[in-house]
Structure 1
Amino acid sequence: MFLKKFKDRYNVIILIFTIIVAIIILRLATLMIVKGQDYREEAENRIFKNIPLSAPRGEIRDKYGRLLAGNRPSFTVQIMRNEVDSNKINQVSLDLVNILEKNDDKYTDEFPIVITETGEYTFTYDIDLASWKETYGLVGVKDGEEAFKILKERYGIEVEDPYEAQLKLLEIPDLTVPISIKEATRWRYTDELKKEDWLKSYGFKDLDISAIDAFNKIKKNYEIPDDYSFEDARKIMVIRQQIRSSGYLQYNPVKIAQDISPRSVAQIEENILDLPGISVVIESIRYYPEGELAAHLIGSLGKIAQQHEIDKYIKELKYLPGDIIGKTGLEHKFEEVLKGQDGYQKVIVDSRGRLVEVLERKDPIPGDTLYLSMDINLQKRTEEVLEEVLKAIQTGGTYETKWGKSNFLGTSGIRANAKSGAVVVTDVKTGDVLALASYPSYDPNLFATGISTADWQSLMPENERDLLAPRPLLNMALSTAVQPGSTFKMLVGLAGLEQGLSPNYKILDKGYIKVGGHSFGNWLWNQNRRTMGYQNLAEAIRDSNNYYFYSLANGYDYGAGKPLPIKMSPEILIDYTKRFGLNDRTGIEIDIPREKSGGVPSIERKLTTVKAMLNNYLNRQMKLEDLDPNKVTPNADNLETIIQEIVSWADENPSRGTVEKRMIELGVKKEKASIYTDVAKYNYFNQAKWSVADTMNFSIGQGEHSYTPIQMANFMAMLANDGYKYKVSVVDKIKSIENGNIEEYPTELIERIKLNDYNNLNEIRRGMHEVTATGSVRSHFNNFPVDVAAKTGTAQKSGKIPPVDEVEYLKTHLSKFGVSLQQVEARMLELKSKNKDSAKYMDDAFVMREAIKQLNPKIRDKDIDQFKPNYDNYTWFTGFAPYDNPQIAISILIPQGGSGGYGAPIFREIVAEYMGLNATDDNENLNIENRLLK
């Protein structure tokens, strides 16, 4: 009977199902009862984590593959906030910071409340703003609009549009303008806006809350015990601020500190059970093995901080808030190429943070490798010789190598302020940059994980008010544009040849040329009343004969008293200047805030400049009391209208009588109208139109010219290579690490400059060769085995070096101005009270100067400044080598270097290095032979 039941399919199914259920029940019983406790503990002690893996940043190498920027492994402390018990977060934060501080490891500190030395709670935003105001003499200027006006006036910025004005201000080396110009927040200090944004992020409604009240409320919100000291409470807030700033990314780790010491790593690992959510990972950080070498080419890194960076990198490109990005130079320009692609790892770890199992892994892809056109060895030698020669110039010492000896005392004397300089070396046949140096420099390693405040301050100039003070962060090669001096004369000579002048045409140097009430003298005449006699073009270039180029530019032979047999005009000179790219950016890939394009003098711009200068003068001098109340209501609006009307007369340059009559009709008091008429007519209106004197200055590289070292190097290259204009480039190729693909950056020929006869360039080159063979710098090249061609230049720099503190300078010399401190301070109070609506009267230095001049009417500005040292002239030395087969072009600029010839030993040593004359082994000797055959 029993067996018959099994013949029934239905019964068989029931039996099988019963057996399966029984097995499941037995298995469940085993899991839940027998081994339940074990599995429960194991489950509780396992954590699933998604760990991002940062991609190593792409390397930067020179043309031969030698490393300039790479990566090294480092320890990074991070916190996974979703893994930290809210009841333990404060203690974990405090313990972690204590470990880091004990071992002198830096950590990210963005919490903006500190205690000052006097024991006051204050916002760091207020400290930064106060420091900025003190640096730029704006203490007491509460309104951002007033500060902006003062800066515009101080630096001669005439444009009214705030965006354009800010761009002009930012061109000034190391000047920061923390003033918002956006419509919604215009004229607010950015530090004030940052402070308000921070308070709003914590839910504060009262944006005027004191620092101590804000601190205590946040302390309470974070449930930090009342008995915690300020220091301990703040340490907790620092970490919690960092966690807050990471936004909504709950499962991404927050970086607390990078590149920490092995001691901190060991102590964190020892206390890992008490530091839940904290982990130490190995990450690569940027490393610059050559330190300061080529820093201005390579650039620097920094944290994502500015709003435009947040918008681009975090919101658009999905960077993490703690990521480091390129801020300047090639690091910034090629950020997306160098960044690479981050990977990730999904893992299981136990309660102690130990890896149990890797579930999934995607390896990061390193950034691409950037190969440059520069040569490390040439770059090193360029930077070395620039620094060595500058130090010799500063002390009036001697610089000597096996290729020559240079004495820097001579007749020029010691140039103690020759503390900075720039050099650019390019390949004349490709436009490639072979070396680019700006001194002083900086170590980009300081920026690898975010620069400290102390390190940042060490890179600031000692005297912010001195625009020529050494600035380590300034790339002088690209951003310093000044007059070229006599290095410009070759272009004037070429324009003359192109117009048909024979290179053998000789002009008699008579020492000076009288134009109106001004004498334009040759430098030899100005020094010792000697002349150079008859000279042709090559001789004039060799001896830098101003008289010859004055005559050539004006198309008049002043020595013979007759016109030259060619047509010359300012328009012709400007045209040739522009052909050689001196009005354009070179296109180099280095990314700085802006590569200056330099400036070719313009007939139209001169009128605009003179009008701006007159506007400045009238705004400084014309007061409400100068207006006749019987004709016009004395108020600021009417005064501004009158000033603008007077300025507009520059276009027509009316007679003196007409000017005075119009001023009186406008409402200027008669006695004041007479004074302002003379100034406006003779100092400004008469100077507004282009004149013979302007052409004189143009011809010798003075006046309104302004070019950068890289532009001048490009100019030299075009003189050397028969007029071929190449795009200047520092990048050779980019190699992908992922697939090995190579993106070449080929030579880019822009054009061949249009000339009537390219053989005219031979005459220019011949004159430049004479400079080094028989001219003023021949002694630097007597023992040099390579013929070179070059030109010295001295660019005028007028004015006085401003003291660090103008007010203290004035106080020191008050007795010499015939006034007392008590008198000055009393008059300053009167002036400030009377002119409280004027921006310039918020500048203590300006008000003190005005008070001194009012108390002693005989004192003028030049009398007040007489005790300040004078600026020295700029030194230029430019050229190419070898003379008979040009390969490289070089430009050298030394602010306050004094004599143009002082750049000669720098030029010589760079050529020696490039040509392999310092070679010590067979491989280098082979390089010499190759270059000589090139």
Structure 2
Amino acid sequence: MLEDIKESILNFITSRIFVLVVIFLAFFGIMMSRIFYLQIINGQNYADSFTMRIKREVSLPGTRGRIYDRNGQVLADNVLSYSVTMEDNGTYKSAREKQSTLNRTVLKVIDIVESHGDNVIGDFGIVYQNGSYTYTQEGRALLRFKADIYGYSSIDDLKPEEYVATADEMIEYLCGKKKFWISPDLYTEEQIKEYKVPTDLTPEQILKLVTIRYAISSNSFKRYVTTTVASDVSDATVAEILENQSNLQGVDIEQSSLRTYADSKYFANIIGYIGKPDQDELDTLKEQNEDYDANDLVGKAGLEQYMETDLQGKKGQRTIYVDSVGNVLEVESETQPESGHDLYLTIDKDLQIAVYNILEQRLAGILVSKIQNIKQYVPGAHSSATSIVIPIYDVYYALIQNHIIDTSHFTADDATDLEKSVQQRFDTQLEDAISRIMAQLQSDSPTAYCDLPSDMKNYMSYIVSDILMGEDQVLMKSAVNTEDATYIAWAKDETISLKEYLEYAISMNWVDVSGLDVKNSYMNSEEIYQVVVDYISSKLTTDSKFHTMLYKYVILNDVVTGREVCLLLYDQGILEYDEETVGKLRSGAYSAYSFMLDRIKNLEITPGQLALEPCSAGCVITDPNTGDVLANVSYPGYDNNRLTNTMDSAYYAELNRDLAGPLYSRSTQERTAPGSTFKPISAVAGLEEGVIRSTDIIHATGVFTEAYGSPTCWIYNQYHGSHGNINMVDAIRVSCNYYFYEVGFRLGGGRSTGYSSDRALAALSKYAAMFGFDHTSGMELPESDPKISDSDGIRSAIGQGTHLYTVSQIARYVSTIANRGTVYDLTLLDKLTDSEGKTIDDYSASVYNNIDIADNSWNTIQEGMHQVAENTAAFKDLNLTIAGKTGTAQQSKSHPNHALFMGYAPYESPQIAIAIRIANGYTSANAASMAADIFSYYFDLTDKDELLNGSATTATSAVIND
């Protein structure tokens, strides 16, 4: 037995199987020892470092270059501040857990930030106003925003339903399953409890949450890049964030550089602001520099945009290793960024501020002189644009129409008793107005439009233009036949009712209700009409524009009194509370009319806020010897600090709906006819073409019978008079229309070869182009293209026809007259330096054209302009020789005329040239008065504190007829 066992063992040992077993055991032992080494001896070390390492390059932004005025005063700077940032760097078991956790964290951060009086970012294209979400942009900018939200690189990729998506639909999409899981409907009751999903968020809270979530999602492909949630926060916010950091996944405090603007409202239209680029902007910037990315802050407007690549600086680079979820494991290397270049402008800061204040004071003075204690202005049979007055009731309504008084606050929890009372009365009036409208729409014998009272006419017009032809296009603009007899009866003749018009529109298939919430797809005409009526009723109930319109009649009918409107200014903190003044208002000892006049006189309520006519002005001042722009003022301005870094979208929306148009440059974008300021060009054209000599005498009768319509001179219109025998210098001095009609007539062939309007226009165009009116002024800002008149050669000679120019273009023109022929491309740029002050680029205005005309031509127009100034009341008391030309451009008989002045001083050796336009400024005497104040300031001819006293300057009673 034992022998058998030994033999078996021996056979096994000598077999191939034994060898394999030994080899297997050896490998097993090695493997076990290795596992022991890895897991027991060095297990913790390997566990700590067992994560995927991915190499990444992170850009470090450089400090943006400063912007200075010509004297080295800072206009744009950078300040260090603390920002609350957030990274999406957590790990989650499911998408639902991730989204709910991020939402909960963001809401907690919002609570902390706002509890200390700070604000989270509001840089989003949607705001919540008057009970609904609204886009802050329109046109292509809105489509670009939609494309970004839906994740498209091109606007053309938008689907039809996305193209027309409303702001409410956009918010619903962002709150849904495809984006941020904010809607509680996406969770079960158990999940709501488990993930602590908020179910009672207000629309405002939802918007803030969406705004931050969208900003974070923009960095989702770079989870190691932080997103700014709140900037420039207080020490209290910093402390609380850091204290709670362990419970706020990915939230941190970072030191950052913020762009700030000194005296922002004066320079906003020049400097602009910075912000994150949209895809179109980013694509354009990448063509210049591949280093740009979506998280950069870039110039969005003004010189910040024009000089972007110089101001931006050079980025640094940090090489890091991140794990598979974006956590930073190691910083391998770092290259420091370089500061951007500093930009010096030709602008004189003190002059710019002074001119802005002069414009505001003078505008306030015009308003005060025109406001009367009446309800409505009713023009008489012989009324003109200069006789228009402003009823005080228009002033009361303006405070609501231009949203100075916030009517949405009337329903707030903290609304005052007066606010609540006004809201109650308004609700009653709204119900009554809608009832009256519905009665007309459902009447068997509705009233023709022409026979309706004025308020109902406005309501009916609004229903068609804004409700039915608005966003939903129930009445399809493209389908309406404007040559149809029934359309003409409604729109032009006004002889039918809205009901009759809509019934006809339905029969002609101009109405489309398919986009409305209707149950039956197949309806007859009566059923469609009822759907339209119900739609109108529903819309009017909630439409904020209609509500604003209704307030006009609420005030006009004294349902809400002027005194109550004045008191609302204190209730809403628009005016600083003054117990004595409020007491007098309440008791009636201080009338609402006197109160409002005093507030306007003291500039506590500004022309820009009221947005009445006039409420705006533009002024450009140049050095005519160099082409440098010393001041470029657009009134009213705005606070570009609230648009820069991260945009305050609610403020941007306010600016867009502001009727005074603060985002619209009155100096470089607003175009009007030049009026009589164009006459010197006509004079040069006549002299140089040889159709008239400066010494020739024209017998100006007041009515020019050689032209179609027999145009008249201002002196004939005013006094049935004429200028009689007159030469060119005197014609410029008195701005004789008849004389320049004759010049235009002769340029067109006149009595010698037969008049041709085209020939006259060609001659005027030739000389207008010589003076630069065929191109923008050269300023490094967005500028509207000029338009040289192409209609009616005779009237074009006095600055009418179809001439359209900006103040900046007129400024170049008058600078050319001052320097006798050098047409500069105006510039705002002086020099570019590095951070140590070394000049990199030295800018100067380029020459656009040199005008070669006879000395006699220059002498004639300059002497004529000198005599204009000598005979203008505004300049009488100035110890300064001035040359200038006034101009009046008529818009319509229902609006005050535009007022213009251009001039230069000193006459003998010009140092500055000025161009001013007051939109709807009544008379050019008002523009001349502004110029007189500017000359006084610049040449130090009066006490500057007295000149800039912060109150309305009494408007001139003089009227310059031109």
Q: Normalized against structure 2, the TM-score is what?
A: 0.60
Q: 2:810 aligns with which of 694, 712, 721?
A: 712
Q: Does 1:248 align with 2:194?
A: no
Q: 1:418 aligns with which of 614, 634, 638?
A: 614
Query: Superposition pairs for residues 289-300 of structure 1, below 5 Å?
Result: 289-300=262-273
Q: Which residue of 2 aligns with 1:904?
A: 928
Q: Find the aligned partners of 1:539 and 1:113 in 2 and give their Cα distance.
A: 58
Q: CA deviation at 1:782?
A: 1.7
Q: Which residue of 2 aligns with 1:308?
A: 280
Q: Find the aligned partners of 1:218 and 1:599 in 2 and give their Cα distance.
A: 64
Q: Does 1:893 align with 2:866?
A: no
Contact 1:50–1:251 at 8 Å: present in 2 too?
Answer: no
Cα pair distance change 1:498/1:736, threshold 3 Å: same
Q: Find the aligned partners of 2:127 and 2:352 in 1 and give their Cα distance.
A: 44
Q: 2:625 aligns with which of 415, 429, 444?
A: 429
Q: Does 1:265 align with 2:226?
A: no
Q: Which residue of 1 aligns with 2:826?
A: 728
Q: Which residue of 1 aligns with 2:652?
A: 456
Q: Does 1:699 align with 2:797?
A: yes
Contact 2:636–2:662 at 8 Å: present in 1 too?
Answer: yes
Q: Does 1:880 align with 2:852?
A: no
Cα pair distance change 1:722/1:213, threshold 3 Å: same
Q: CA deviation at 1:596?
A: 1.3
Q: Find the aligned partners of 1:783 and 1:410 in 2 and give their Cα distance.
A: 29
Q: Which residue of 2 aligns with 1:598?
A: 786
Contact 1:110–1:241 at 8 Å: present in 2 too?
Answer: no
Residue by residue, what CA displacement relative to the aligned partner does 1:816-875 show, whole Å, maximum 9, x if unpaired?
Answer: xxxxxxxxxxxxxxxxxxxxxxxxxxxxxxxxxxxxxxxxxxxxxxxxxxxxxx111111
Q: CA deviation at 1:340?
A: 1.6
Q: Find the aligned partners of 2:126 and 2:765 in 1 and give their Cα distance.
A: 57
Q: Find the aligned partners of 2:270 and 2:895 in 1 and give their Cα distance.
A: 29
Residue by residue, what CA displacement relative to the aligned partner does 1:125-177 show, whole Å, maximum 9, x if unpaired?
Answer: xx439x98xxxxxxxxxxxxxxx9xxxxxxxxxxxxxxxxx89x99xxxxxxx
Q: 1:339 aligns with which of 312, 321, 324?
A: 312
Q: Which residue of 2 aligns with 1:914?
A: 938
Q: CA deviation at 1:743?
A: 0.7
Q: Which residue of 2 aligns with 1:387?
A: 360
Q: Which residue of 2 aligns with 1:533?
A: 724
Contact 2:702–2:716 at 8 Å: present in 1 too?
Answer: yes
Paired residues, number: 652
Q: Which residue of 1 aligns with 2:777?
A: 586
Q: Does 1:491 align with 2:498?
A: no
Q: Find the aligned partners of 1:557 and 1:239 in 2 and give their Cα distance.
A: 65
Cα pair distance change 1:37/1:570, threshold 3 Å: closer
Q: CA deviation at 1:277?
A: 2.5
Contact 1:499–1:566 at 8 Å: present in 2 too?
Answer: no
Contact 2:176–2:183 at 8 Å: present in 1 too?
Answer: no
Residue 887 of structure 2 aligns with an amino acid whose one-letter code is G
Q: 2:733 aligns with which of 537, 542, 558?
A: 542
Q: Find the aligned partners of 1:242 and 1:770 in 2 and give their Cα distance.
A: 62
Q: Which residue of 1 aligns with 2:302?
A: 329
Contact 1:396–1:413 at 8 Å: present in 2 too?
Answer: no
Q: 2:663 aligns with which of 463, 473, 482?
A: 473
Query: Superposition pairs for residues 597-746 of structure 1, below 5 Å?
Result: 597-602=785-790, 606=791, 694-737=792-835, 740-746=838-844
Residue by residue, what CA displacement relative to the aligned partner does 1:763-796 show, whole Å, maximum 9, x if unpaired?
Answer: 10000000111x2x2x211221110000110011
Name the SS of the counterpart of 1:518 in structure 2.
coil
Residue 533 of structure 1 aligns with an amino acid whose one-letter code is G
Name the SS of the counterpart of 2:239 in structure 1.
helix
Name the SS of the counterpart of 1:489 in structure 2.
helix
Q: CA deviation at 1:280?
A: 0.7
Residue by residue, what CA displacement relative to the aligned partner does 1:278-312 show, whole Å, maximum 9, x if unpaired?
Answer: 2111111111121212211111223323x302434
Cα pair distance change 1:732/1:92, threshold 3 Å: same
Contact 1:556–1:563 at 8 Å: present in 2 too?
Answer: no
Query: Superposition pairs for residues 90-129 of structure 1, below 5 Å?
Result: 91-108=104-121, 124=133, 127-128=134-135
Name the SS of the counterpart of 2:687 in structure 1.
helix
Q: CA deviation at 1:189?
A: 6.9
Residue 82 of structure 1 aligns with an amino acid whose one-letter code is N
Q: 1:58 aligns with which of 65, 87, 102?
A: 65
Contact 1:436–1:477 at 8 Å: present in 2 too?
Answer: yes
Q: CA deviation at 1:436?
A: 0.5
Q: 2:693 aligns with which of 476, 498, 502?
A: 502
Residue by residue, what CA displacement relative to the aligned partner does 1:568-602 show, whole Å, maximum 9, x if unpaired?
Answer: 83322221111111121122112x3xx21210122
Contact 2:175–2:182 at 8 Å: present in 1 too?
Answer: no
Contact 2:121–2:648 at 8 Å: present in 1 too?
Answer: no
Contact 2:869–2:882 at 8 Å: present in 1 too?
Answer: yes
Contact 2:125–2:135 at 8 Å: present in 1 too?
Answer: no
Q: CA deviation at 1:335?
A: 1.4
Q: Does 1:228 align with 2:198?
A: yes
Q: 1:216 aligns with which of 181, 186, 199?
A: 186
Q: 1:554 aligns with which of 734, 737, 745?
A: 745
Residue 745 of structure 2 aligns with an amino acid whose one-letter code is N
Cα pair distance change 1:314/1:105, threshold 3 Å: farther
Contact 1:511–1:530 at 8 Å: present in 2 too?
Answer: yes
Task: Identify which range, 911-920 or 249-258, moves more after superposition.
Answer: 911-920
Q: Find the aligned partners of 2:161 and 2:823 in 1 and give their Cα distance.
A: 46
Q: Find the aligned partners of 2:125 and 2:879 in 1 and give their Cα distance.
A: 62
Q: Which residue of 2 aligns with 1:769?
A: 866
Residue by residue, what CA displacement relative to the aligned partner does 1:665-689 show, whole Å, maximum 9, x if unpaired?
Answer: xxxxxxxxxxxxxxxxxxxxxxxxx
Residue 101 of structure 1 aligns with an amino acid whose one-letter code is E
Q: CA deviation at 1:759?
A: 3.4
Q: 2:766 aligns with which of 575, 592, 605?
A: 575
Query: Superposition pairs for residues 783-932 of structure 1, below 5 Å?
Result: 783-798=877-892, 870-917=894-941
Residue by residue, what CA displacement relative to the aligned partner does 1:435-489 show, whole Å, maximum 9, x if unpaired?
Answer: 0101111011111233324312332345xxxxxx421110111111111100011
Residue by residue, what CA displacement relative to the aligned partner does 1:309-340 show, whole Å, maximum 9, x if unpaired?
Answer: 24345796444434332111101111121112
Q: Find the aligned partners of 1:331 and 1:250 in 2 and give their Cα distance.
A: 29
Contact 1:373–1:732 at 8 Å: present in 2 too?
Answer: yes
Q: Which residue of 1 aligns with 2:857?
A: 760
Q: Find the aligned partners of 1:896 and 1:485 in 2 and give their Cα distance.
A: 13
Name the SS of the counterpart of 1:513 in structure 2.
coil
Residue 787 of structure 1 aligns with an amino acid whose one-letter code is T
Q: CA deviation at 1:84?
A: 6.4
Q: Find the aligned partners of 1:325 and 1:184 in 2 and give their Cα distance.
A: 25
Structure 2: stretches of 5+ with no match in the other structure: 1-35, 144-152, 323-327, 372-383, 391-611, 946-962
Name the SS of the counterpart of 1:749 in structure 2.
strand
Q: CA deviation at 1:244?
A: 2.0
Residue by residue, what CA displacement relative to the aligned partner does 1:238-261 show, whole Å, maximum 9, x if unpaired?
Answer: 654433221311222222222222
Q: Find the aligned partners of 1:901 and 1:112 in 2 and give their Cα distance.
A: 43
Q: CA deviation at 1:71?
A: 1.1
Q: Normalized against structure 1, the TM-score is what?
A: 0.61
Cα pair distance change 1:212/1:111, threshold 3 Å: farther
Residue 788 of structure 2 aligns with an amino acid whose one-letter code is V
Cα pair distance change 1:329/1:115, threshold 3 Å: closer
Structure 1: stretches of 5+ with no match in the other structure: 1-27, 133-147, 149-165, 171-179, 350-354, 399-408, 463-468, 607-693, 800-869, 922-934
Q: CA deviation at 1:912?
A: 2.6
Q: Find the aligned partners of 1:486 and 1:222 in 2 and give their Cα distance.
A: 72
